[in-house]
Amino acid sequence: MDRLLIVFISLFSCSFVLAQPLRYEGLPNLPGSGKHVVLISGDEEYRSEEMVVQLGRILATRHGFDCTVLFAINPATGEIDPEYISNIPHLETLATADVMLVNLRFRNLPDDQMKHIDDYLKQGKPVLGIRTSTHAFAIPQDRAYARYSWDYSGEGQWNRGFGRLVLGETWITHHGSHARESTRGIIVPERRDHPIVRGVDDIFGPTNVYQIRLPLPGDSVPLVYGQVLVGMNSTDEPVVGEKNDPMMPIAWTKTYQVDDGPIGRVFTSTKGSSQDLESEDMRRLLVNAVYWLAGLEDQIPMSANVDLVGSFKTLPMGFGTHKKGMKPQDFLLSGYTDTPFIPGSTWRVHDKTRPLPQIVEPGVGDLGATPPSDAIVLFGGENLDQWIRTDGNPIEGGIENGTFDIMKTGQLQTKQEFGDFQLHIEWRTPELEEGFDRMRQGNSGVFLMGLFEIQILESNASYIYADGNAGALYGTDPPLVNPARGPLEWQSFDIFFTAPKFEGETLKALPTVTVLFNGVLVHKHRQILGATRHRDVPGPLPVMEKGPLMLQRHGSPVEFRNIWIRPL
């Protein structure tokens, strides 16, 4: 089988030359397995650098496509910078590409990079165009590839540039009011049976409708119309009047041909910002389009799996609103595909494809809880008399301003052992370290009975696999939601634990745990299957009904305060 490379070019420019581009390897035995998708981003406004990452992850982990993702990088810093318009490295990957997705805006790339795009198009390979890619390029007239510019005024097929020739339109104007009128997608009734709209019913996004000259050129086939809404919410009513009469197409198919070369397939959508991708059916539309462009339309599922993969905290559209300081390697997926399956689950231990818990904003009032009269104060800010180091060495220092740092004290466990209990503990992770492994950012854990870990990790600004996020029952159960606060902010666990029960050496009841994380319920009477292990299923339960509380020292500073426990 020929390797199939699908390339997405998003209006976001990438200047810093990396040794290797960001790559997501497709999972085996899926329809896209053995095919290759490259996603290239470059726009200043609609957060294409976020969009191509999430779409690439979905294509790789849900459908098997190998995905390469390219960015705009500032060469002075090596950081992703969508406002740097003159460099997208690794466009040479187009040499083996079979589909190219473009999400670009006013790029002015050097000739050596443009040549890769030009060579690709001359072969008539499929193209998927997103949003501002209708005006993907703004190249001066004295340059070799000036004809790609959105406003190119020369004669012949290149009049109005790449957008008009390949995608079907160049930049005209906003049709809906920008940032005031959102868009609902309406499937063209006559195209309801087209494979690209299979399983697609409810498209909504905050980006507005673009004006398109009607009819679309050549053999263009509109698939989805854009209904202009009176506001920015999916429940808003349609605008009355000419903005919706007629409605503008926001997704269509067509073909293109460059310089009498082979004819290639195209899918264009003027939607596709990162916020638009929050719509499940918008994601499904794009995934279906990849199948269609790849010649796999007969394998498009009735309802393609487009569950989000990894973190997807979208930023609002706007100039200068991109997340600063990010590098391509920061978007690598952590986790594994070769670990054993969790007993009774369809997920593997530390499964990199497992959805991350939904992010919620915690309330206030969980911090500073004073211990009840029957509680044992394990740390009240003055001393660590209730603790010993697990390595047997004496605790020397570590306390400052009523808190202690686990890196300074060493790994600790309580002198006393506990069975059933209520525990309150407050902790905070340090400021993010540049270039530091995100799996080590504020990494610690609360081990119940010294065996069962409730994970501590910086999980607001960074992320790892779902069952390794803060609040997870490590290795088996992610928190129900992610209410983590940011670095340097105090956080709390309130843990209600029931120890395992034995008759002699026979286990009669598994341990269970309920956890409030920053006042938000993240585990409710969760059964614990066994002792916590890394990259493996839980270990055997020792015959014991009590054990010490342990605080893990795991290579990163983590501070603690206000720890108390009530044996039950």
CA atoms of 451 and 447, how far apart (whole Å): 6
| Per-residue pLDDT tens over the stretch 84-106 | 999 999 999 999 888 889 999 99
Has residue 10 got a pLDDT over 80? no
Q: Which CATH superfamily is domain 358-567 in?
A: Exo-inulinase; domain 1 (2.60.120.560)
3-state helix, strand and coil shares in percent for the chain, rounded to the nearest 5:
15, 30, 55
Count H helices, E strands: the chain? 5, 30
Six-digit token string for 47:
């957060």
User: What average pLDDT is seen over the chain?
Assistant: 92
Q: 19 or 341: which carries more pLDDT confidence?
A: 341
Tens digits of residue pLDDT in 505-539: 999 999 999 999 999 999 999 999 999 999 999 99
pLDDT of residue 350: 95
| Number of neighbours of residue 139 by Cβ within 10 angstroms | 23
Model confidence over 141-159: pLDDT tens digits? 999 999 999 999 998 999 9
User: What's 442-476 look like in SS3?
Assistant: CCEEEEECCCEEEEECCCCCCCCCHHHCCCCECCC
What pLDDT is attached to residue 77?
Answer: 87
Residues 348-385 have pLDDT tens digits of 999 988 888 888 899 999 999 999 999 999 999 999 99
pLDDT score at 73: 86
**What's the rounded Cα separation, in Å, for the pair 52 and 133?**
13
Contact 162/137 with Cβ under 8 angstroms? Answer: yes
* Statement: residue 337 has pLDDT above 60: yes
Cα–Cα distance for residue pair 557/8, rounded to 1 Å? 40
3-state secondary structure string, 489-526? CCEEEEEEEECCEEECCEEEECCEEEEEECCEEEEEEE
Per-residue model confidence (pLDDT) at position 311: 72
What angle in degrees, to the nearest 10, is found between the helix axes of 280-293 and 48-63? Answer: 70
Cβ atoms of 82 and 43 within 8 Å: the answer is yes
Q: How far apart are CA 493 and CA 369, in angstroms?
A: 11
Res. 466: pLDDT tops 50:
yes
Task: Measure the CA–CA gap between 162 and 264, rounded to whole angstroms.
Answer: 14
- C-alpha span between 110 and 346 (Å, rounded): 48
- Write the CB contacts of 292 (distance below 8 Å, at least 6 apart in sequence): 195, 196, 253, 265, 267, 300
Contact 484, 366 (CB under 8 A): no
State yes or no: pLDDT of 485 exceeds 80: yes
Asked if 264 and 125 count as a contact pair (C-beta separation under 8 A), the reply is: yes
For 417-427, how does the pLDDT look when each residue is reduced to its tens digit (9 = 90+)? 999 999 999 99
Residue 12 has pLDDT above 70, yes or no: no
Residue 461 is predicted with a pLDDT of 63
Q: Transcribe 301-313 into DSSP letters.
A: -TT------S---
**Which tens digit of pLDDT belongs to each residue from 538-549?**
999 999 999 999
Given a cut of 60, is residue 188 above it in pLDDT?
Answer: yes
Quick check: 7 pLDDT over 60? Answer: no
Give residue for tokens 């390219």.
Answer: 70
What pLDDT is attached to residue 312? 83
Lowest mean pLDDT among 10-24, 90-104, 235-249: 10-24
pLDDT confidence band for 3 (50 / 70 / 90): very low
- Exposure string over 250-266, b if 16+ CB within 10 A, otherwise e: bbbbbbbbbeeeeebbb
Which residue spans of the chain are classified as CATH 2.60.120.560? 358-567
